[in-house]
A and B are shown apart, each in its own frame.
Chain A
Amino acid sequence: METVKRNKNDRVLYIRDLNISFKTAYGTVRAIRGVRLDLFKGETIAIVGESGSGKSVTVKTIMGILDSNGVIDSGQIVYHYTDKDGVEQEVDLVKMSQKDIRYKLCGKHIAMVFQDPMTSLDPTMTIGKQIMEPMREHYKISKEEAKTRVLKLLEEVGIDNPDKRFKQYPHELSGGMRQRVVIAIALACDPDVLICDEPTTALDVTIQAKILELIKDIQNKKGISVIYITHDLGVVAKVADYVAVMYAGRIVEKGKINEVFYDPRHPYTWGLLSSMPDTDTNSRRLFAIPGSPPNLMERVEGDAFALRNPYALNIDYKEEPPMYDVGGQHRVASWLADPRAPKVQLPAELVEKLEKMKKEAFKDDTN
C-alpha cells in the first residue's frame, strides 16, 4: 500500500494550538485544549476517541459552524487552496468570520457529511434539486448543464436509475441510498477537503462497507483529502492513512495508522484497542476502560486520563505531559514516553492481540 508522503508543500490544512471553550449557564467548558494537526493532499486521516472528547467541535470549527456559545480562545487553522481564478491562497480560518467561512469556503472547498442523512436533507425538495442548487450557485451554470452533472454524480455515488431518482424525495429512499445522496451533495462543487462525521454509524455493516469503498474510490479519482470521525476502530483500519486519538479535548496519540495500531503508546489507546471485541477471540469478558471521562467544566490537573489509568505515574496527577516524538510520524502525549519513566508492561491480553494482528498482517512478508 502506498501512503501519502507527508510533505510540507502538500499541506492542505494545519491546526496549531487550538483552544475552544463554551460558555454555559453552569460555567465554562474547555472542550478543545491545544489541538495540533496536519492534513495533507490526498490523505485520509481519522479522528477517534470517546464521546465528548471534542472530535465534532474540532471539525465544526473548520466548517464555520461552531455553536454560538463557543469561543475560539486561541490558535490557528490555516487552510491552503487554489481559488477559482487559479491563485493560491492561504487563510487562517480562526481570523475569518463564521459567515465568511461558510460563504466563501464551505461546500465549495471544504464539504461535510453528517451522521444522520435525514437531518441534512430537505424533506420537501427532490434530491435532484438539492444537489443541483449549490452546484448552480457555485459554477454559475445553466439548469440543463447542472442536471447533466447531477446525473453523472448520482451514478458516481452508486445510485441506480439516476433519471428516476432525480425526481424522488428523501423519504422514498433507503438509509444507505440517502447517505449516498448526502455524499453527492458534498461532492457537488468538487471540494478538496471532505469531512465525514460518523458517516456510517446509522448504517448496517453491508451498506457501511459499500459507502466506505465509494468514498475511497472518489478520493482516488479526485485526489481529495478526507477527515473521518468515528469510534469504530475497524472503520479506521479500513480507511485511514493517519490517525489522531483524542481524549478530553486533546490529541493524546497520533501517527501513521500502522504506527498507532501495531505499536500503541498511550494507555488510553491501549484501552480502546483492548475494548474492541475481535471476532476471533473467545475470551469471556470484554476489556472495559474503568470510570468515565473528566468533567471539562473543571480545571484538569495533570493528565486528564490519570484517574482511569492503571499505569499513572505520580507526575500524571500534577502536570500535563508534553507531546513526545517516538519515531517516524508517531507522537504521544504521555509521561510514559519520557526517557526517565519506568518501563511498563502492556496488558498481557493486548500484547497477545497485537502479536496476532501483526502476524496476520505481515505473514506474506516473511516467506
Chain B
Amino acid sequence: MTQTKQPLLHVENLKQHFKISRKFTTKAVDGISFDIYEGETYGLVGESGSGKSTTGRALIRLYDPTDGKIIFDGHDISGKLSKEDESFLRTNMQMIFQDPMACLNPRRKVSQIIAEGLEIHHLCKSKKEVDEKVSRILDKVGLSAEQGTRFPHQFSGGQRQRVGIARALVMNPKLVIADECISALDVSIQAQVVNMMKDLQDELGTTYLFIAHDLSMVKYISDRIGVMHLGHIVETGTTDEIFENPIHPYTKSLLSAIPHPNPVVEKKRVAITYDKDAQGVDYTKGTQHWLSDTHYVLATDEEFEKWNSK
C-alpha cells in the first residue's frame, strides 16, 4: 500500500481525558497519532482499559476531545463542529457496538431500526427509496425480508449483530468503527460475521476501524494494526510487521498471550510478562521510532536500541 495518498482519517496527538475529581484525571487516551487509508482495515488492540473504545467514541465525537487533531476526509472534526461538518460526520462515519441487543430498540421492527438513520438525516427522497435501501442491505447481510419484520429479541446473537451491521452500512458510510463487534459471539458465528464484513468491504469499499482484544481475529481481518496500552499507541505497523517483527515488549507480551488451539504446544507455553513500571518505561517520554514507512514504535532512544537489538 502506498502511503503517499491522503488518508481517509488522520489522527494527530489525540487526547481524551476525563476529570474524575478536582485532583484526579483519567488520561484514557493520551496523545495518539495514526492514519487510516480508504478501503483498508485498521485494527486497534490492547488490554482492557487501554483506551480503545474511548478512541472510537472520540473519533465519532460522542466526546469533545481534550486535545489533538482529527481530519476526516478533508474535514476537521476535532473542534466545535459546524453544521455541515456535523452532518457530514453523522452520515459518513458509523459505529457498530459490542452488544447489539443493548443498542437496538426492542419495540421497533428490524427494518424500522435499519431505516432510522436514513430518515433522521433525510438521505432519501421517498419512502419507497428508504424501503429499497433497507431491503438491499438486509439481503447483503444475509437476512430475509421476512426477518426484517421481526423484533430484535427474535434473533440469535449472530443475526442481531448482522442487524447492527446493516444499520451502520445502510448509510453507505466511508468509515465504520467496529468496537468489539464479534467478541460476544461464538467461533462459528464470528467467522460468518467477519466473512460478511470482508465481502461488504470488497464490494462497497468501506473502511474499517476494527477494535478488539482477540488478536487472532484482528490478524485475520486487518491490513494494519495499532497496539494500545494505557492511552498510548505503543506500536503500529502492517499486520505482518506486528506479528512477524514485534519490537515493543508490550506487543510481544500481548502476542504471547494468544492461546493456540494446539493442546501439546499450548500446555508447555508460558506467556511473556510485561511490567512497564518494573522496566522503568514512561510512555510520555517516548517518541516515534520508525522501522519502515509503515512501522513505528513508541520508545526513548535507549529503549529502542535495547528492544530492537533482541
Contacts and interface: CB of A to CB of B under 8 A. Distances in A.
A204 B48 contact: yes
A232 B188 contact: no
Q: Which of A206, A238, A240, A361 has the most CB of B within 10 A?
A: A206
B257 A278 contact: no
Contacts of B265: 237, 357, 360-361
Given A276-B187, A286-B194, A205 B257 contact: yes
Nearest to A292: B156
A261 B259 CA distance: 14
A121 B156 CA distance: 28
A207 B48 contact: yes
A87 to B, nearest CB: 36
B47 A360 contact: no
B195 A285 contact: yes
Interface string A170-184: 000011100000000
A258 B185 CA distance: 26
A279 B219 contact: yes
A344 interface: no
B262 A357 contact: yes
Contact of B261 (A51, A205, A213, A261): A261
Nearest to A1: B267
Interface in B185-208: 185-192, 194-195, 198
A37 interface: no
A261 B216 CA distance: 18
Contacts of B191: 275, 277, 286-289
Contacts of A261: 261-263
Interface in B151-199: 156-159, 183, 185-192, 194-195, 198
A271 interface: yes
A286 B266 contact: no
A237 B266 contact: yes
A72 interface: no
A203 interface: yes
Given A175-B48, A209-B271, A288-B195, A275 B262 contact: no
A236 interface: yes
Contacts of B190: 275
Contacts of B192: 288
B257 A51 contact: no
Nearest to A210: B271
Nearest to B218: A277
Contacts of B92: none
B216 A50 contact: no
Contacts of A285: 195, 198
A237 B187 contact: no
Given A231-B186, A233-B187, A271-B188, A276 B258 contact: no
Contacts of A52: 156
Contacts of A207: 47-48
A279 B214 CA distance: 11
Contact of A278 (B159, B189, B261): B261
Interface in B232-267: 243, 253-254, 257-267
Given A286-B195, A288-B195, A360-B265, A206 B188 contact: no
B32 interface: no
A277 B48 contact: no
B259 A237 contact: yes
9 contacts: A208-B257, A209-B257, A209-B259, A237-B261, A238-B259, A279-B243, A287-B191, A288-B188, A288-B195
Interface of B: 46-49, 156-159, 183, 185-192, 194-195, 198, 213-217, 219-220, 243, 253-254, 257-268, 270-271
Interface of A: 1, 50-52, 174-176, 201, 203-210, 213, 231-238, 240, 257-258, 261-262, 271-273, 275-279, 284-289, 292, 357, 360-362
Given A234-B259, A272-B187, 7 more contacts: A175-B49, A204-B213, A205-B47, A209-B271, A213-B270, A292-B159, A361-B262
